[in-house]
Every structure is written in structure tokens, then in C-alpha cells.
Amino acid sequence: MRANLERMGVPLKEIRYGLATHYHIDHAGLAQEFKQAGVPLLVLEAQTGAIPLMRSWIKPRDHYVDISLHDNVVISSAESRAALHRIGIAGEILHTPGHSDDSVSLLLDDGSVFTGDLTHPALAGEGDAGVVAASWRLLRERGATRVYPGHGPVRQMDTESSD
């Protein structure tokens, strides 16, 4: 991560918050180390219970540093616009369950949305199709047009849902 930031010319001290779309190791595993380097962790209320749960999936080879709970910046989705505004970002953070109960998406006012692992509607199983569809519907209603998934290419919103 440090090497990538350096390559992209992003000084660590310019990163105002860490935000994990959800608490799976490949998305949140560096959160505590970021905090130790001076980057506070922004947590949505819907995510607080998932942080201690993540520990149960960790393997020794992950070299995971346990995320402390008392020193995070915990906000509600309704408070997210003001919190982002204070650091110069126009947008909001929405609770978008489907891949996991604690999944959130960062939606910018230009229509860009960072969805983490939110399941593609076409790939949702029978059990979670309703929850997944509701999350995509919420994002569309709030103005999402371009999807930046955690894995895979950027895509346009309109072409990927039929709910």
C-alpha cells in the first residue's frame, strides 16, 4: 500500500480518513496500521459489529493487526455527507448490504460510486437477491452512474441492473 501510494504521489499524511467498504481482510486488513500511521478510521454505525467478527477469519500468515474499537470515528449514514464535506468531498456513504451486512458504498455527487464487493445483480443468489437489488436501487435513486467495484473494471450503472 505504501509503495502504491508513493508511486501515485499520494503522501500518507494527505489521507484524511480510512474507510472500509466492509470488514473482510482484503478490504479492511490494513485499517489499524493506517491508524497507527495517523489516518483515522471512519466507520459507519452499521459496520461496528463486523469489526470484531473479522478477527475470526484471520490466519497467522495474514499478519493482521487487530483493529481497536475505541478510537474510530463512528458516524451514521445520515451524518456522512457533513463528515465528507469537512474534508472537501461532496458525497455520502450509504449502507448497501448484500455481499455482507456491513457493506457500505461511497457515492460521490458526480455519480461515481465505490461499492466494494456489492454483488452484481445478475450474480446474486436466490437468498440475497432482494437485499442486493434494494442496495442497487438505493444507489441509483441517489444518483449513482458509474461503478467502481473493489475488484474488476469500472462500469456504467445503467447497463448492469434490471430490477
Q: Applying CB under 5 A, which residues contact Zn ion?
A: 24, 117
**Which of 23, 34 has the CB closer to Zn ion?**
23
Nearer to Zn ion, 48 or 86 (CB): 48
- Least Å distance, CB 42 to Zn ion, is 18
Give residue 52's region: left, alpha or beta (phi > 0; psi -120 to 50).
Answer: alpha
**Nearer residue to Zn ion within complex by CB, 99 or 144:** 99
Q: How far is the CB of 117 from Zn ion (least distance, A)?
A: 4
From 77, 79, 74, select the one nearest 95 (Cα to Cα): 77
Which secondary-structure segment (H or E) carries 80?
helix 77-86
- What value, to the nearest 5°, has the Cα angle with vertex 150 and ends 149 and 155? 20
Instruction: Give 92 or 117: the residue with its C-beta nearer to Zn ion.
Output: 117
Kindly report the backbone phi and psi dihedral angles of residue 112, in degrees, each rounded to the nearest multiple of 5, phi listed first.
-75, 135
Q: How far is the CB of 85 from Zn ion (least distance, A)?
A: 28
Q: How far is the CB of 21 from Zn ion (least distance, A)?
A: 8
> What's the chain's Rg over C-alpha atoms?
16
Residue number of the CB atom closest to Zn ion: 24
